[in-house]
Chains A and B, each alone.
Chain A
């Protein structure tokens, strides 16, 4: 058996672990995903195969290795309106504040970093159209970037499976902005056109887009401290004064980078540029 092949029992174990820790369900047929995501961890752990990695997990319940495996399996996981508390915070506090502070220029730049297949950026567009009709006369470009060209191609197409639209997309918005396309659902061109999709590697040399609101949720956790520091420094340069940075609920820039203050919005992970 090759180093990355995985047996049904091993797949079942990982599936159970990921489900238990994250509520994310790995359907049958995702064996390749488990293999490809866990192979680097197996190498890092110094074991010869993904199967041996699973043996190690089984023999050491509750270890930090379990956490690393769950994180590896949940990278790129995205859904429409992921974490409703964040979108509540955007709707009730962040966007109203930015609309007030940017009223003179009527210009609001938004950057969805690590955008994956686009659901975060498109959720924002739908929310803005639904709740902020006053923005119709503004320039509100939304830039969505990801390292991975394949996920960007999917985002560009705007076509989602039933599985993807079942996850957290409010039915009234789905009814308004999606149409059936065979077994899938097609997002309306008006929403797609509001987002500019671009490849960008956060640890590459390309300039970060300037923005008033930056969403970088659940991304920094995958980097070491020095890389986090470098990314946050560049994020701070890209974020205009008074702008907002949204990280994952458990993430913070405060110990690594000056120029941010905590904004007490949602369940944490929200910071303002000062």
Chain B
């Protein structure tokens, strides 16, 4: 099963990717929302969760959530925003657009694991 890590920072992709790989996921990466949509189209149901930054070039994370939810068949894809946007309004907007969880940067490994546990992922 895949986890898709979407962030324009290679360092952040590596940090998040390392944590989710310890939970047993094969990690896919995308540098912006457009690339993430391509990954979802290519891998479909094999992607269990997408961890998505908000501020990215070309297509931001919020737009990715809107678009991915607009495609029939993506209803079961879990989406967690992982973002430096820490306002209550931004969180509400992401949830309204179809995000399932929301993790604020900065965060640590325990935070990410706890959020993934809420989505049903437990440490192996």
Contacts and interface: CB of A to CB of B under 8 A. Distances in A.
A244 interface: no
B95 A167 contact: no
B99 interface: yes
Interface stretch (A96-104, A168-176, A203-211): A168-176
A166 interface: yes
A23 B110 contact: yes
A150 interface: no
A193 interface: no
Contact of A25 (B86, B110, B117): B110
B92 A168 contact: no
Interface string B85-118: 0111001101100011111100111110111011
A170 B109 contact: no
Interface of B: 86-88, 91-92, 94-95, 99-104, 107-111, 113-115, 117-118
Contacts of B118: 81, 84, 168, 170
B97 to A, nearest CB: 12
A106 B113 CA distance: 38
Contacts of B92: 175
A170 B102 CA distance: 8
B108 A175 contact: no
A162 interface: yes
Interface of A: 23-25, 79, 81, 84, 162-163, 165-168, 170-172, 174-175, 178-180
Contacts of B91: 171, 174-175
Contacts of A180: 87-88
A167 B88 contact: no
Contact of A166 (B87, B99, B103, B117): B103
B117 A168 contact: yes
Contacts of A172: 95
A37 B98 CA distance: 44
B81 to A, nearest CB: 8
B115 A168 contact: yes
Contacts of A166: 103-104, 107, 111, 114-115
A171 B115 CA distance: 9
B87 A167 contact: no
A175 B108 CA distance: 21
A211 B91 CA distance: 37
A141 to B, nearest CB: 28
A167 B111 contact: yes
17 contacts: A23-B110, A23-B113, A24-B110, A25-B109, A84-B117, A162-B86, A166-B107, A168-B118, A170-B118, A171-B94, A171-B102, A174-B102, A175-B91, A175-B92, A175-B102, A178-B88, A180-B87
B109 A23 contact: yes
Contacts of B88: 175, 178-180
A163 B114 CA distance: 12
